[in-house]
Each structure stands twice: as structure tokens, then as C-alpha cells.
């Protein structure tokens, strides 16, 4: 396994393997929401997913720990960014494997995809940003998802790709109405939780 013994290494994370792959929403999740960085060791990983990670306690204390307001989304990305900004290294080692036993419905996977890609985590909620994101979803993300479905011989997944984009457009609009003009990140507003 990759070593956390070096003082500049803050954490080591590994691979997540999906156990449930029979139902259409679960196959879609495997194809479109992988939660690992592949099959090769990465000594300077850009981030580590929260499912299978060990951190050096002193490194976490050095950067101020996790933002508890983030709950189950973006907490791993944010802590990785904080650690890297302080000069710490992150190692991804695919030999460290955990099994994911989640099952999804079309609604739950659409909601998960939206939460993983929601623009408001990085931008202010504004009319301009919302419509820019909707255009990106419809003109860029949707064709990309469907092409990936076809290329991987998963044509039936194209239905969920279409539904996930539709869900995201509606969720973005609901967020615009609910949180318009608030200057902070989406997940830091308790009143601006997901629709």
C-alpha cells in the first residue's frame, strides 16, 4: 500500500467497487458517477473521495478540519483542496478497495447526480449563473452522457441520462428562486438545502 509515513503526505485513499449493477439506475451510477480515480497509483492525487480514506490527524488539524455544514457532499473535495493548498500530498492507491452496496431508483440517482454537479457549490446563485449552467447541462452534459451510454453499449441508460439532466434543470431553477443573490456557497446556507 502507498505510505502515509512521509510527513508531507496528509492522506491515502482508495477505490470504490459497486456491488449492485443489475438494475438500470445502478448500472447508470456505475457508468456516470464512479467514485474512484482509476486503476493506477497516483502519488499527487487532486482529491480523495470520502468513502475509503485515511488522514494524518495533525494534517487535518493544521487546515481546520472538515466543514461540518457540507454533510455528505463536497466535504471530501473541500478538505482535499485545503490540504493541498497547505503543501500536503494526497495519495490514491487503487489496491485499497471498499465495496459499495448502494441501490438506486431513477429519482435517487438523478438527485445524486445533480448534487455531485451542482454549480452553486462554486458560484453565487444568480440568474446569469443559473442560465449559464442550464445551457451547459443541455448543450454539453446531456450529449456527453448519452454518447457515453451508447459507446458503452448501455443505450437504455440514455433514458436516465435524459431524466438526470431534466431533474438538474428543474433543481437549478428551484434553487435560483429559493436562494437568489445569496453571496455564499450553496451548502453553507441551511435555508438553501437541495429542493
3-state DSSP assignment of residue 18: strand
Domains of the chain are 9-100 (3.90.550.10), 106-192 (no CATH)
Quote the pLDDT of residue 187.
46
- Do residues 102 and 28 lie in contact, with contact meaning Cβ atoms separated by under 8 Å? no
> Phi and psi (nearest 5°) for 186?
-50, -50
- Do residues 161 and 142 lie in contact, with contact meaning Cβ atoms separated by under 8 Å? yes
Q: What is the grid cell recorded at 141?
A: 452534459
Quote the pLDDT of residue 188.
47
Specify burial of residue 195 (Cβ count, 10 A radius: 0-12, 13-18, 19+).
middle
Quote the pLDDT of residue 35.
84
Termini Cα distance of the chain: 41
Quote the pLDDT of residue 71.
63
pTM of the model: 0.78
Quote the pLDDT of residue 162.
97
Would you give per-residue pLDDT tens digits along the chain (195 residues)? 556 677 689 999 999 999 999 999 999 999 998 888 999 999 999 989 888 899 999 999 999 887 777 666 678 888 899 999 999 999 999 999 999 999 999 999 999 889 888 766 666 778 888 899 999 999 999 999 999 999 999 999 999 999 999 999 999 999 888 876 565 544 444 444 454
Quote the pLDDT of residue 191.
44
Dihedral in degrees, nearest 10, Cα atoms 46, 62, 10, 51: -70
Element at 183 (helix H, strand E): none
The secondary structure of residue 155, as a DSSP letter, is T
Amino acid at each position: 500500500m502507498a505510505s502515509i509515513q512521509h510527513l508531507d503526505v496528509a492522506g491515502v485513499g482508495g477505490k470504490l467497487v459497486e456491488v449492485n449493477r443489475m438494475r438500470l439506475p445502478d448500472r447508470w451510477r456505475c457508468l456516470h458517477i464512479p467514485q474512484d480515480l482509476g486503476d493506477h497509483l497516483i502519488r499527487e492525487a487532486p482529491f480523495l473521495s470520502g468513502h475509503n480514506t485515511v488522514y494524518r490527524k495533525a494534517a487535518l488539524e493544521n487546515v481546520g478540519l472538515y466543514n461540518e455544514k457540507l454533510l455528505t457532499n463536497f466535504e471530501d473535495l473541500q478538505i482535499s483542496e485545503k490540504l493541498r493548498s497547505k503543501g500536503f500530498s494526497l495519495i490514491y492507491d487503487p489496491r485499497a478497495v471498499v465495496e459499495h452496496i448502494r441501490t438506486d431508483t431513477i429519482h435517487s440517482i438523478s438527485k445524486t447526480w445533480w448534487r455531485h454537479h451542482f454549480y452553486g457549490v462554486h458560484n453565487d446563485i444568480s440568474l446569469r449563473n443559473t442560465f449559464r449552467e442550464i445551457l451547459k447541462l443541455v448543450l454539453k452534459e446531456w450529449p456527453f452522457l448519452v454518447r457515453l451510454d451508447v459507446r458503452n453499449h448501455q443505450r437504455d441508460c440514455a433514458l436516465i441520462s435524459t431524466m438526470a439532466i431534466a431533474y438538474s434543470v428543474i433543481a437549478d431553477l428551484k434553487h435560483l428562486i429559493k436562494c437568489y443573490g445569496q453571496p455564499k456557497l450553496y451548502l453553507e446556507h441551511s435555508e438553501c438545502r437541495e429542493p
